Amino acid sequence: MDELFRQDNYDGHYFSRREIATIIACDVVTPSKNVFASSMGAATTREGCDVLLTDIGDSYVAEAFTDKGEKLLAKATGSTKAENGDLEMRRQVWERNKRELNRHELRCSVAYLPKLLGRAYDHPVWEEKAATCFACGSCNQVCPTCYCFNVQDDVNWDLATGRRERSWDGCMLDGFTKVAGEHEFRKEKADRFRHRLYRKGKYVPAKIGGRIACVGCGRCVGACLPDIANPVKIYNRLADDLGIK
């Protein structure tokens, strides 16, 4: 998110909050039933947070990645320096998570997703899935990597003052691409369905050095009533049909 909000139009509203925030991440203890973070290379992290906590059973190992994190940990009372045995237990948690946070297994290399999608624009899967899509936008709204928003001006009767409001938006919702003159660039559900998967696997990666914009949390899978939102099922189908491993 930092990279995305920094480029194109630097987002001062985002950074005014981001800079005063301290992010404490925690390695997964209780996996969700649809997680596939292992497949996406996101089962643990060494970046994006100030402090990483890992539950090793009777205690936590805490590691700071930033000055902000160091300062926070310096204030922690009652903590002791991690010993080799603690670090070994943390390594085992990481290894277990890399292996087991994988309820849905991606059958092609995650690094290949942009190229895979580059060949799949006209694949029939988009129409097939869109046929049962409610366009409810739930898959967008629960997603930690969906960040699109709308900005609306509410003008007062004096026509000189008013309020500018920003709110979450989602590319699966009808009207997301509507502009002046009633033009709408992705009116068809199939176009919106494809766009969401292309954002995750191709368009956003092109902006952030090839990193895939899906962490495999599985939230969209659980939120989708017709059960069509699972990115892994779509990518696997494309990989099978296009003969890519």
Summarize as ranges the residues that interact with ligand SF4 (CB under 6 A): 133-139, 142-145, 172, 200, 214-220, 223-226, 228-229, 231
Q: How far is the CB of 55 from ligand SF4 (least distance, A)?
A: 22
Contact 205, 113 (CB under 8 A): yes
Burial group, residue 44, by CB count within 10 angstroms (0-12, 13-18, 19+): buried
Q: Minimum distance from CB of 165 to ligand SF4 (Å)?
A: 23
Comparing CB distances to ligand SF4, the nearer of 28 and 143 is 143
Shortest Å distance, C-beta 18 to ligand SF4: 19
Burial class of residue 153 in the structure, from the number of CB atoms within 10 Å of its CB (0-12 exposed, 13-18 middle, 19+ buried): exposed
Nearest distance, CB of residue 17 and ligand SF4, angstroms: 21
Q: Which residue has the tokens 């690094």?
A: 111
Distance from C-alpha of 63 to C-alpha of 46, rounded to nearest angstrom: 10
Q: How far apart are the first and last CA of the chain?
A: 29
Name which of 37 and 61 has its Cβ closer to ligand SF4. 37
Nearer to ligand SF4, 31 or 216 (CB): 216
Residues 37 and 105: their CA atoms lie apart, in Å, by 9
Decide whether 39 or 54 has the Cβ nearer to ligand SF4: 39
